[in-house]
Amino acid sequence: MEYEHQKRKKRRAWFIRNALLYQLSILTDQSRRSHQRTAWVYPKSGYWWSDIVPQMNDKQFKDNFRIHRRTFKQIPNQVEADLRRRDTVLRLAIPVDKRLACALYSLGSTSELRTVAHLFGIGKSTAASILHDFCNILVELFFGRLIKFPANNQEIQATTDEFLQKFGYPMCIGCIDGTHISIEPPTGAETDYFNYKKFHSVIVLAVVDASLKFTYINIGAPGRCNDSYVYSQSRVLDVMKNPIYAQNYLTIQNTNIQAHLIGDSAFPLSKNLMKPYTQRPNMPQDQTLFNYRLSRCRSAIERSFGHLKSRFRCLHKKLEYDVENAKILIKAVCILHNICIDAQDDVDTDWNITVPPYNKPNCNLRTLGGPDMRDALAYYFVQYPL
């Protein structure tokens, strides 16, 4: 009897266990069918990019992306292989043209990445990643190809001839100057990056040709430095010591005027770099004329900086990135500046921008031969007026 009782009890326990497992499986299956998986990303709308942008005319497109539509269409052909991303099982990759547009909108406006992300229906971190990827690709592919200093006789001759034709200034190989770009300074180095204009910055020392294209840029010197110091530490100073520039010359009053740079009073005077005479009352006519002709030619670098900042409005605000990322971004916009000039994509300059005046520190350094060359050029301008 006891054996039969235990047997029935065990059978009843197995029956209850199986019934519970069956009910649990039914409940689990119903839960899976009725429960919808919650979204793993916040829903976003890309309506502006997908519906508004295609309806824009050419002027509206340029107002938003700062370059002409035809220039926009040329760039993907050169960067598509590096900018394209593969689809995954989790999501479709953002198309190349959308990635390019997102990066250009970020560079061409003062909008925050959050605003750019809302316009394109993507995440803020994705917008930042696209921007930095695009800038890195541009610098890697085009920096050495599109920002190139004249290095052989043919290039030197073509550059100096273009300056002479456009500005009436002989043997100019480029105009040099520096500009400050506002950044978030590295922690602990705030004093080094605080400039005489009273904000934190890095210095962009650049050389441009007569067509306003950058032929050399040096980016990253702390804003506390002056242009003369940055020039003395730059590679262009060593480049100009190459004998090929002295071999390209024009003789005036038994003085050889070699191919040289021109700059403002912040730079040292030498055979490789001409600067204006120090302003003083009752200056001789030839010195006044020299200052005018040099300033007229040197306007190329001022216009180039103006076009760069007018087109790429991100340079108007503080670049709140790591200093190395900020340097790459500045290099990228300089490359895009040259691309637009090659494509004859003119910039819409806002001539009503008011810039407060600042007095640059004057550099009184000069090397042997520099004053004689400047005096010979002053004589040349008297003999050959515009």
Locate 192 and state its tokens. 């080094």
Could you give the 3-state DSSP secondary structure of residue 183?
Answer: strand
Q: Given the DSSP bridges, would you call strands 260-262 and 273-274 parallel, antiparallel or unpaired?
A: parallel
Could you give the 3-state DSSP secondary structure of residue 170?
Answer: coil
**Residue entry with tokens 């210095």:** 203
Q: Is the pLDDT of residue 353 over 90?
A: no
Any idea of the CA torsion for 309, 314, 318, 319, to the nearest 10 degrees? -120
Quick one: pLDDT at residue 356?
Answer: 58
Q: Given the DSSP bridges, would you call strands 255-258 and 201-208 parallel, antiparallel or unpaired?
A: unpaired
Quick one: pLDDT at residue 214?
Answer: 97
Return the sign of the alpha-carbon dihedral for residues 340, 344, 345, 347: positive
Cα–Cα distances in angstroms (integers) from residue 153 to residues 159, 165, 172, 231, in the given order: 10, 18, 14, 24
Quick one: pLDDT at residue 147?
Answer: 95
Locate 290 and state its tokens. 């020299």
pLDDT digit string, tens, across residues 173-182: 999 999 999 9
pLDDT tier for residue 364 given thresholds of 50, 70 and 90: low
Quick one: pLDDT at residue 56?
Answer: 93
Mean pLDDT along residues 61-81:
89
Quick one: pLDDT at residue 34?
Answer: 53
Q: Is the pLDDT of residue 259 over 80?
A: yes
Return the sign of the alpha-carbon dihedral for residues 52, 85, 111, 352: negative
Average pLDDT, the chain: 88
pLDDT tier for residue 306 given thresholds of 50, 70 and 90: very high
Closest by CA position to 80, among listed 65, 94, 63 = 94
Query: CA–CA separation, 146 vs 163, rounded Å?
Result: 19
Lowest mean pLDDT segment, chosen from 38-47, 55-64, 87-96, 270-279? 38-47
The residues pairing with 205 across neighbouring beta strands, listed in sequence order, are 178, 218
